[in-house]
Amino acid sequence: MATPPAIPTPPISRGGAVLTGAGGGLGREIARALHRRGWALHLTDVDAAAAQALAAELDERAIASALDVTDEAACRDVAGRTIEAFGDLVLWVNNAGIVSFGPAWEHDEARRRAILDVNAHGTMNGTLAALEPMRAAGRGHVLNVVSLAGLVAAPGEGVYSASKHAAIAFSLAVLYDLRQAGFDGIDVSCVCPDGIWTPMLHDTLDDPGAAASYSGVLLDPADVARRVAEIAERPRPVTAIPRWRGAQMRVFDVMPRLMERLLPGALKQAQWNQRRLKRRLAKTGRLP
């Protein structure tokens, strides 16, 4: 039987792109999705070895660097090296993030600061580093992976939710600033997915404080990554995944008394979802 022809790798046609938090979980899937669609990728992560391993899995259209997104100068350096490697910087995806669950008073100052530094300041650093060359070129796209927790305050995720609210507010304000300044060729998008079954959630199956993350349908990271790659080409200010959850969260956001009344029942359902998932994974031998 004849071997089917290999699917050709698309050429570098979309330009240079930076992806933060590329070393694992959702970031790894976003990298693969963007690569399939022809982007030249600068993969970054605090874990340099993980980013380099992913770059080696792809091809010469991918390079890798260590990056701590809380370091503003390091973000600017990554932008410059992306342009040196690929000739331009057309897309910057801020995906790096950390999460912590439980009542806000159980988070000490160091943990609160770490969450805000990575999720909020890291998004700001990456966005501003990207905008410098993009404003000079008059084109580009900053795509920030936020969360549904950026649309509504989530119980057990107060600090995380605050960091994501800051990220989405900053992103939209920057978009408006760009339009006011006449930069019509530069876009800023926010992607707000529901809970994603990645290592971020793997370790929370026994954590009652994480129950709110199980209140919706846990998403496949590859499916979210495909949507991110689509939005990279067709910018949208805010996209909730799935869309119905975004509409639901916005209702709760503007009607906090309704959220307060419904919360006990919603959390009971979420805790049941959490236990059910653990039982199913244990039965199939797929517990992390």
39, 101, 160, 197: which is the annotated catalytic residue? 160
Ranking 15-19, 28-32, 116-120, 197-201 by mean pLDDT, the lowest is 197-201
Provide the pLDDT for residue 251.
60
How far is Cα 46 from Cα 64, in angstroms, rounded to an integer?
11
Amino acid at 232: A
Q: What percent of the chain has pLDDT over 70?
A: 72
Query: Domain extents for the chain?
Result: 16-282
Q: 34-43 pLDDT, tens per residue?
A: 999 999 999 9
CATH fold group of domain 16-282: Rossmann fold (3.40.50)
Provide the pLDDT for residue 221.
85
User: Higher model confidence: residue 103 or residue 191?
Assistant: 191
Amino acid at 230: E
* Cross-strand pairs, 17: 41, 91
Q: What percent of the chain has pLDDT over 90?
A: 60
Q: Are 43 and 62 in contact (CB under 8 A)?
A: yes
Of 250, 161, 149, the residue nearest 191 (C-alpha): 149
The two three-digit tokens of residue 243, written as one number: 């869309």
Ranking 27-31, 86-90, 100-104, 199-203 by mean pLDDT, the lowest is 199-203
Q: Are 237 and 189 in contact (CB under 8 A)?
A: yes
Strand 186-193, strand 40-45: pairing: unpaired
How far is Cα 114 from Cα 200, in angstroms, rounded to an integer?
15
Provide the pLDDT for residue 194.
81
Question: Residue 234: is it exposed, middle or buried by C-beta count within 10 angstroms (0-12/13-18/19+)?
Answer: exposed
Average per-residue pLDDT in the chain?
83
Query: For the residues 187-210, what does the mean pLDDT come to?
Result: 67
Query: For the residues 163-184, what does the mean pLDDT come to?
Result: 98
pTM summary value: 0.81
pLDDT band per the 50, 70, 90 thresholds, residue 283 = low
How far is Cα 154 from Cα 170, in angstroms, rounded to an integer?
19
Amino acid at 10: P
Helix H segments across 154-237? Answer: 158-180, 199-202, 221-233
pLDDT band per the 50, 70, 90 thresholds, residue 257 = low
Provide the pLDDT for residue 196.
63
Query: For the residues 197-220, what does the mean pLDDT come to?
Result: 54
Residue 168: is its pLDDT beyond 90? Answer: yes
Q: Is 176 annotated as catalytic?
A: no
* Cross-strand pairs, 143: 93, 189
Provide the pLDDT for residue 265.
53
Q: 71-119 pLDDT, tens per residue?
A: 999 999 999 999 999 999 999 999 999 988 888 899 999 999 999 999 9
H-run or E-run covering 40: strand 40-45
